[in-house]
C-alpha cells in the first residue's frame, strides 16, 4: 500500500487500520477498480476518496464522543493540529466534574422516567389484573373473618345457654 506523499495530511488523520482498508477498497472496487500505480499517483479521485474516508472517521468520532461535549477535541476539524497542540488546547475533565455530574444526573433522571413509562405501558394491565385479584381475595378473606366472628358469637351464646341449663338442673 503506497499512497502518494501528497496525501500525507489526509492519511495522518486516519488510524493505520483505516488507511489499509481504504487502500484495499480503492484498488478492489467493483466499479472501475484502480491499479496500484494509479492509486499511488496524484489523482483527484484518490484525494476525493481519502477526504470522504476522513470525514466518515471524524463523524464516527464525533458521534462516539457527543455525550462529552465539554472536552474540546479538534479531531472534528478538517485541518487537524498535531497531538501536542491538541493536548495544550484541551481543558482537563476534572475542572468540569460538577457540570458532568449534573448532566449525568439529568440523563439518569430522564432514563428512569422513560423506564417507568415503559414499564407502566408494558406491565400496567397485568398489574391492574393482579391488583384486582388481590382486592377480591382480601374482600373474600374479610367476609370469611366476619362470618367466623358471627359463628364465635353464636357459639358463645350457645355455651352460655348450655351453662345456664346445666346450672338449673
86-144 residue pLDDT tens: 555 555 555 567 888 888 888 898 888 888 888 888 888 888 888 889 999 999 999 99
CA distance 35 to 42: 13
Contact yes or no for 11/3 (Cβ under 8 A): yes
**Residue 70 lies inside a defined structural domain of this protein:** yes
Q: Exposure string (b/e) for 145-157, b if CB count within 10 Å is 16 or more?
A: eeeeeeeeeeeee
> Predicted confidence band at 22 (pLDDT cuts at 50, 70, 90)?
confident
* pLDDT for 140: 93
**Residue 167 lies inside a defined structural domain of this protein:** no
**Residue 54 lies inside a defined structural domain of this protein:** yes
DSSP 65-125: TTT-TTS--GGGSSSPPPHHHHHHHSPPGGGGHHHHHHHHHHHHHHHHHHHHHHHHHHHHH
**Residue 147 lies inside a defined structural domain of this protein:** no
**Residue 25 lies inside a defined structural domain of this protein:** yes
- How many independent structural domains does the chain possess? 1
**Residue 60 lies inside a defined structural domain of this protein:** yes
> Predicted confidence band at 42 (pLDDT cuts at 50, 70, 90)?
confident
The boundaries of the domain holding residue 65 are 5-91
**Residue 155 lies inside a defined structural domain of this protein:** no
**Residue 69 lies inside a defined structural domain of this protein:** yes
Amino acid at each position: 500500500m503506497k499512497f502518494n506523499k501528497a496525501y500525507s495530511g489526509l492519511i495522518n488523520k486516519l488510524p493505520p487500520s483505516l488507511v489499509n482498508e481504504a487502500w484495499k477498497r480503492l484498488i478492489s472496487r467493483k466499479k472501475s477498480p484502480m491499479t496500484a500505480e494509479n492509486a499511488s499517483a496524484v489523482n483527484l479521485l484518490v484525494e476525493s476518496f481519502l477526504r470522504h474516508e476522513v470525514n466518515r472517521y471524524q463523524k464516527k468520532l464525533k458521534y462516539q464522543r457527543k455525550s462529552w461535549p465539554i472536552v474540546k477535541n479538534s479531531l472534528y476539524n478538517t485541518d487537524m493540529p498535531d497531538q501536542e497542540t491538541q493536548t495544550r488546547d484541551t481543558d482537563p475533565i476534572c475542572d468540569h466534574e460538577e457540570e458532568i455530574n449534573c448532566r449525568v444526573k439529568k440523563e439518569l433522571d430522564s432514563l428512569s422516567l422513560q423506564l417507568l413509562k415503559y414499564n407502566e405501558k408494558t406491565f400496567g394491565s397485568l398489574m391492574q389484573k393482579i391488583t384486582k385479584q388481590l382486592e377480591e381475595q382480601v374482600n373474600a378473606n374479610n367476609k370469611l373473618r366476619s362470618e367466623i366472628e358471627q359463628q364465635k358469637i353464636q357459639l358463645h351464646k350457645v355455651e352460655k345457654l348450655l351453662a345456664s341449663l346445666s346450672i338449673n338442673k
